[in-house]
Amino acid sequence: MTTARIAVCQLNSTADKLLNLQIGQQLIRQAKEEQQAQIIFFPEAFDFICENKVKTVEQSESIDGHIMQTYRNLAKQYQIWLSLGGFHQKFPTDTSNRISNNHLLINSDGQIVSQYAKIHLFDVLAGAVQMKESDYVNYGMEIVSPVQTPVGKIGLGILKEVNKFKKSLKDFQQNVCVWLLEGSLKHRSLEYRFAEYARLLTELDAQILTYPSAFTKHTGEAHWEILLRARAIENQCFVVAAAQVGQHSAKRESYGHSLIVDPWGKVLLDLGLDAPVVKTIEIDLSLIKTVREKMPISQQRRRDLYSLVSTCKVPIQSEPIHWGQLTITSSQLIYQSSLSFATVNKKPVVPGHLLVSPFRCVDRFCDLTAEEISDLFTTVKHVAKIIEQHYNAKSFSIAVQDGEFAGQTVKLAHHDKNVKHWRTEEEMLAEAVQLRKLFYSSST
């Protein structure tokens, strides 16, 4: 079955958290019972919108607080998935009055299956006004791998751009070099302005890119639809952007126009200026394959000349890795990126002696593509840093074995058959379980 029913909410959130929650509950009921939606996409700041950062921090809740617990219960009650973008998350143990702006994905059992903290914060000087989001918001430090859902594989993002002062169109044009990047007292990341981020998610097999938003009216009129359609066209996937709309306070106005865009760039849904409202449409995921077959952009990229590198971890695969003449089971893996993996060693020299390798097995190092080499060394750097901290070490060594006289290469691995120093499968599994916890929230 390639079709899916997805709902988009458009809100006019205020500082009244209880009222916002009641509206959200009504829209969930309507989307499920009247429109038979499988998933509902909520906009940025669905929980509340305050006038300044002090009140925003004060109103923020922990992930175990009333707001998120209520939405989890609603997801379970109505047996529906929820995409909740831009939750103002407070950390009970953090005494610095800092929060995180998180996008959470909740399944129909009420479980939080994925959580993304925005990675793009803005510290800018807009004329005489300095705007420093990092004063009160924590940077997200991780790119989250797309999540499989009943409506396809979803890549999470957050998009928000809100201006502090009302500007005339003339003033806006004169200050365009600033206003395209700035936020307000409530700065938000502009994930859809970063084409690389969208491409990375689709390289990780995302079928739907989602950009929950509370976008400023000025920049919305100029860029909102253009950029969302561009992300859909260049990545040949669906884009879902639930938005805030209208006047939230004397200082705050959002653009609205929540959109769903197909892989060809066609706008399938535009909610205009309505609020609060939820609408459901049916999308056909097979259109992704059709568009990509007719215009195979991904295959046409010159990966030998340029690449996209990230530290995005992906879930440990269940299938064994056939590495030359050897087989590495998934239970031995401690970390995995899109092109590389890290595993415990059969014959370690010292504690923390690990193997990091590309998935693709080649005879020589120079046979790897530029993208594979970049991913390999990025993975090495990430794994080495974590392992060094774990063992409280002050240094580490990296060795590249390339060629038959360089040591135990793939073809010659453990060629001596000296099993005296080999570890048992049980010993390797025990170490892998412990080290994997350093990279993943739970061992898988």
pLDDT of residue 53: 84
How many domains would you assign to the chain?
Answer: 2
pLDDT for 415 equals 46
Domain end point (choices 281, 297, 313): 297
Judged by average pLDDT, the poorest of 22-31, 90-99, 367-376 is 90-99
In the predicted structure, residue 10 carries a pLDDT above the cut 70: yes
Give the pLDDT of residue 159: 58
Whether 46 contacts 20, CB under 8 Å: yes
Say yes or no: 265 and 344 in one domain.
Answer: no
The answer to whether residue 12 sits within a structural domain is yes
In a domain, 81, yes or no: yes
Residues 269 and 401 in one domain: no
Contacts (Cβ under 8 Å, ≥6 apart) of 78: 28, 29, 32, 33
3-state helix, strand, coil in the chain (%, to 5): 30, 25, 45
What pLDDT, on a 0 to 100 scale, did the predictor assign at position 441?
74
Phi, psi of 159 (to 5 degrees): -135, 120
pLDDT at residue 338 in the model: 86
276-299: average pLDDT? 96
Q: Which of 386, 351, 434 is nearest to 442 (CA)?
A: 434
pLDDT in tens, 217-246: 888 898 999 999 999 999 999 999 999 999
Q: Which tens digit of pLDDT belongs to each residue from 133-168? A: 677 888 888 888 899 999 999 998 765 554 443 443
**Which domain range does residue 250 map to?**
3-297
Question: Is 0.85 surpassed by the pTM of this model?
Answer: no
Angle of CA points 399, 356, 348, to nearest 5°: 70
Question: pLDDT at residue 192 above 90?
Answer: no
Q: Residue 230 domain-assigned?
A: yes
Cα 240 to Cα 21, 81, 137: the distances in Å are 22, 15, 25
Q: Residue 131 — pLDDT band, cuts 50, 70, 90?
A: low
Residue 311 lies in a domain: no
Find the radius of gyration of the CA atoms of the chain. 24
pLDDT one-digit tens code per residue, 403-416: 777 765 555 454 44
- Asked whether the predicted pLDDT for residue 278 surpasses 70, the reply is yes
> Using the 8-state DSSP alphabet, how is residue 272 labeled?
T
Find out whether 113 and 315 touch, Cβ atoms under 8 Å. Answer: no
Structure confidence at residue 189 (pLDDT) = 38
Q: 267 and 363, same structural domain?
A: no
Q: Is the pLDDT reported for residue 132 higher than 80?
A: no
Whether residue 443 is contained in a domain is answered as no
Residue type, 111: Q
Query: In the prediction, which pLDDT does 112 show?
Result: 96
* CATH number of 411's domain: 3.30.428.10
Asked whether residue 316 is assigned to any structural domain, the reply reads: no
* Residue predicted with more confidence, 130 or 429: 429
Residue 130 has a pLDDT of: 56
Confidence band, pLDDT 50/70/90 cuts, at residue 1: low
Say whether both 249 and 348 belong to one domain: no
Contact 417, 316 (CB under 8 A): no
Region 337-343: mean pLDDT is 92
The reply to whether 444 falls in a domain is no
- Do residues 331 and 427 share a domain? yes
DSSP-derived 3-state class of residue 267: strand
Please give the pLDDT value at position 149: 96
Give me the mean pLDDT over the 125-130 stretch.
50
Model confidence pLDDT, tens digit, residues 59-69: 999 999 999 99
Q: What is the pLDDT of residue 162?
A: 45
In a domain, 306, yes or no: no
Q: Are residues 339 and 232 in the same domain?
A: no
Domain's final residue, options 242, 262, 297? 297
Residue type (1 letter), 82:
L
Same domain, 251 and 347: no
* Same-domain pairing of 258 and 359: no
Q: Are residues 60 and 180 in the same domain?
A: yes
Q: Is the peptide bond before 276 cis (omega within 30 degrees of 0)?
A: yes
Query: Which stretches of 296-411 are assigned E, i.e. beta strand?
Result: 321-323, 326-328, 333-336, 340-344, 354-358
CB count, 10 Å around CB of 94?
Answer: 12
Q: What is the CATH number of the domain that holds 7?
A: 3.60.110.10
Mean pLDDT of the chain: 84
Q: Give the Cα separation of 105 and 290 in Å (integer).
A: 28
Q: Which domain-ending residue is among 264, 297, 330?
A: 297
Q: Are residues 39 and 173 in the same domain?
A: yes
Q: Are residues 264 and 202 in the same domain?
A: yes
C-alpha span between 83 and 254 (Å, rounded): 20
* DSSP 8-state symbol, 24: H
Do 48 and 197 lie in a common domain? yes
Confidence of residue 292 (pLDDT cuts 50, 70, 90): very high
